Amino acid sequence: MNPHHRRYPATHLEPLVHRRTYALAAAAAACSATTALALCAAPHALAAPQPSPVTSDFNADGYADLAVGVPDATVNGKARAGYVHVLWGGAKGVGRHGGIRISQATAEVPGTPETGDRFGTAVALEDLSGDGTAELIVGAPGEDVNGLGTDVGVVVVVGGGKGSSRPGSNAMVGPAANAAYGWSVAAADVTGDGGRDLVVGGRDKVVLRAVVDDGEDLVTTTVLATPMGGRAPLLATGDFNADGTDDLALAFHTINAPYTQSHVRLWTWDPAERRMDNFWNASNGAASALATGDFDGDGLDDLALGECREIADENIDDPCGPESYAKGGGIHILYGHPSSFGFRTQTLNQDTVGVYGAAEDGDRFGASLAVLDWNRDGRDDLIAGAPGEAIGSRARAGAATLLLSHSGGIVDPSSGEATSVAYHQDSPRVPGAAETGDAFGAAVATGDYDKDGVPDTAVGAPGENGGSGGVWLLPRTSARDSYALTPSNLGLPSPTTALRYGRYMSSH
């Protein structure tokens, strides 16, 4: 199990009435579809909620915070210069205790806002220094650098502290024009020394910045440089080879750039060579999201591939599970194993029994993923966004689905069924109304933002209000008491423009 994973208890959750009714477990066979799922999901009583460890506390108040990247925002008159909005957690819930906007116009942040910097394209809150307060990691892939050219890209780390930000620095700058460093970012202890190392995705490249030899040396090494369709890969971390140290997962695909290919690759640290070694590969299955969790409770990290689909004909059988599951977006899960990662797999989509909705082309089920242990049974559960989901006649209104784990994983091996609860803007008690193009579920994040021991879920809807966007908060991952955070009610500048607020968010 990844030591950075957190376990969250829960007490109440309200499911929608699904198009089909399912038994949740033998002990809960009498529960109706309108009964609180928390009362039916397990035959034993749930333990009292306990506050979760906080790793994303940027303002040092003891509560987890949420960072929202807004790279399309205008700053100091510069279009798409971008900023990050950090929303404070607190007893009343995230976003109800204020927050702070951080950009390259912020005194503590190096550089100046420029047109097209896209500061906030990638964002993470991680305690890199180990002092109990999170740092803000921000990617700006459009950053220009004198002497190097345009779109060099930069990754900025900004220190956190009581009520405000602390001095920041450029942790990694691209080496040349069009390197676009900062398209994706991740942080984990890949070297096994107890510190947090920084992984950066740029155009067709992944780079690791690690402190080694008990903090004496800073090593920057290229993990992989290869055609990736002119993009950065997806990044995730977890202990995939079961050696007690974090590894790196990356996924990328290309279509005729210069040829069609798709790969998921796992890398581990080689201390002798002081670089990352590739130890596992899967080809031909492209994904739109990656998420790490222990979905079967065996203590080993598993990897979920969201919106997994076959891209190229490389004579590889079913890289994302049965081909039929790719319709509308399939989630393919590679399970951990002491010696053979991915030996066991599961695949599901919206045609899987127990999953909300029906698989339809363009749903994009699994386009975003986040992990939580909702019912504190020791197994991680999964939140899957489907920003292309039609709600009634409103195309691409979007939905997000909670997928509860079973003893054998997200899909119960004995029945082939899943257990799910879905949310969208036409769900009872969810504010707003589902509208064409809202893209609810384009991004999802989880965290115990009110510190009550129960995981909350944030769902981004960047198409809301003509592209101004918004983030919907589901306290305790329930529609009850849910609320919307939009640029307008948050008092952000230019609330009527296409900020696409909610497209990029940090998780945990």
Question: Nearest-CA neighbor of 402 among 450, 459, 449, 452?
Answer: 459
% of the chain with per-residue pLDDT over 90: 75
Question: What gap in Å lies between CA 498 and CA 413, rounded to an integer?
Answer: 44
Edge to edge, the sheet with strand 205-212 lists 184-188, 197-202, 205-212, 217-225
Q: Is 73 within 8 Å of 504 (Cβ atoms)?
A: no
User: What amino acid occupies position 222?
Assistant: T
- Counted residue by residue, the chain has a size of 508
User: Is the pLDDT reported for residue 4 higher than 60?
Assistant: no
Q: Comparing 52-61, 241-250, 364-373, which segment has the lowest mean pLDDT?
A: 52-61
Mean pLDDT of 178-182: 98
**CA 483 – CA 219 distance, rounded (Å):** 44
pLDDT tens-digit readout, 315-349: 556 788 888 888 999 999 999 999 999 999 999 99
- Split at pLDDT 50, 70, 90, the class of 165 is confident
**Contact assessment for residue 147 and residue 193, using Cβ atoms and an 8 Å cutoff:** no
- Mean pLDDT of the 64-83 span: 97
- The torsion of the CA quartet 116, 119, 121, 122, rounded to 10 degrees, works out to 150
At 452-502, the pLDDT tens digits run 999 999 999 999 999 999 999 999 999 999 999 999 999 998 777 899 999
Average pLDDT across the chain, whole number = 87
pLDDT digits (tens, 9 = 90+) for 362-403: 999 999 999 999 988 999 999 999 999 999 999 999 999 999
* Residue 468: per-residue pLDDT: 96
Query: Average pLDDT, stretch 412-422?
Result: 96
pLDDT recorded at residue 54:
58
What pLDDT was estimated at residue 211?
A: 82
Question: Average of pLDDT values for 137-141?
Answer: 98
What confidence score (pLDDT) does residue 195 get?
85
What's the whole-number mean pLDDT along residues 84-110? Answer: 95
CA distances from 179 to 45, 182, 272 (A): 53, 9, 29
Closest by CA to 345, choosing from 330, 335, 355, is 335
d(CA 502, CA 453): 24
At 258 the pLDDT is 80
Nearest to 154 by CA among 191, 127, 116, 125: 116
CA distance 302 to 336: 5
Quick: pLDDT tens for 257-303. Answer: 787 888 899 999 999 999 999 999 988 888 999 999 999 999 999 99
Task: Name the DSSP letter for residue 47.
Answer: P
**Residue 283, pLDDT score:** 86
Q: What is the pLDDT of residue 36?
A: 33
Given a cut of 50, is residue 353 above it in pLDDT?
Answer: yes
Helix, strand, coil share (%) of the chain residues, nearest 5:
5, 35, 60
For residue 13, what pLDDT is reported? 36
- How confident is the model at residue 33, as a pLDDT? 30
Categorize the per-residue pLDDT at 2 as very low, low, confident or very high, splitting at 50, 70 and 90. Answer: very low
pLDDT band of residue 256 (cuts 50, 70, 90) is confident
